[in-house]
Amino acid sequence: MTTLMAIPKTQYPSLDDARLAEYARTDPQAFAELYRRHLRSIYRYHLAHTGNVKDAEDLTSQTFMAALESIRSFRGTGPYITWLIGIASRKRALFFRGKKPQVPLDSVLHLPASSLPTDKAAARRLQMDQLFAALRTISQDRAEAIILCFFSELSTAEAGLVLGKSEAALRMLISRGLHDLRTRTSFALEVDYE
């Protein structure tokens, strides 16, 4: 490990994740920056799996606490987000051990209130309900690839690292998963994945 020269904390936002993780070993402000960068992805990952805001918040908190406690184990051999998703996946597995997921998953896209008119908001919610019901019926690896890329907003390369698949294999999982979802929903899925 190299000795890190002190830099002003105001420069933390300009550092890449790997360098920031090095600083986070001794500086809580550096870890706080990593938290800000990846909070949305980890929260949406857990929300997609639990379908429950409270459980997703708890699992997100547990994920970041575990990441803080084990930040020294991050070696920088892959993207920080894939290391973090690995922790999130283990926390999710512990959460569901002996417990079935609660559905519906309609709150996955729980974002600030939209400015959609009520009829359009209702139609969107019905579509999302249908999408999440269909997502639970496709194969687990296809669903996980879709969740990682579309809900956690990982690149196909990052999602491939998380799942131990090549980018080509991950693209195939997504393609087949989207096809499966299209056959199970009454609306057209218009998505573009890298």
- Written in H, E and C, the secondary structure of the chain is CCCCCCCCHHHHHHCCHHHHHHHHCCCHHHHHHHHHHHHHHHHHHHHHHHCCHHHHHHHHHHHHHHHHHCHHHCCCCCCHHHHHHHHHHHHHHHHHCCCCCCCCCCCCCCCCCCCCCHHHHHHHHHHHHHHHHHHCCCCHHHHHHHHHHHHCCCCHHHHHHHHCCCHHHHHHHHHHHHHHHHHHCCCCCCCCCC
158 found inside a domain: yes
Query: How high is the pLDDT of residue 4?
Result: 59
Phi and psi at 96, nearest 5°, equal -90, -5
pLDDT digit of tens for each residue in the chain (194 aa)?
A: 455 566 666 788 889 999 999 999 999 999 999 999 999 999 999 988 887 889 999 999 999 999 999 999 999 899 999 999 999 999 999 998 866 545 444 445 544 445 656 777 677 767 766 777 788 889 999 999 999 998 899 999 999 999 999 999 999 999 999 999 888 876 555 555 54
Query: How high is the pLDDT of residue 123?
Result: 72
Q: Considering 37, 68, 102, which residue would you say is the last residue of a domain?
A: 102
Same-domain status, 178 and 138: yes
Q: Considering 58, 81, 102, which residue would you say is the last residue of a domain?
A: 102
Query: How high is the pLDDT of residue 1?
Result: 46
Number of domains, the chain: 2
Q: Cα separation of 184 and 181, whole Å? A: 5
Same-domain status, 40 and 64: yes
Phi and psi at 21, nearest 5°, equal -65, -35
177: CATH: 1.10.10.10
Same-domain status, 51 and 121: no
Same-domain status, 84 and 43: yes
pTM listed for this prediction? 0.76
19: CATH: 1.10.1740.10
User: Residue 74 sits in which domain range?
Assistant: 15-102
Query: How high is the pLDDT of residue 6?
Result: 63
Q: Considering 102, 137, 167, which residue would you say is the last residue of a domain?
A: 102
Specify the length of the chain in residues: 194
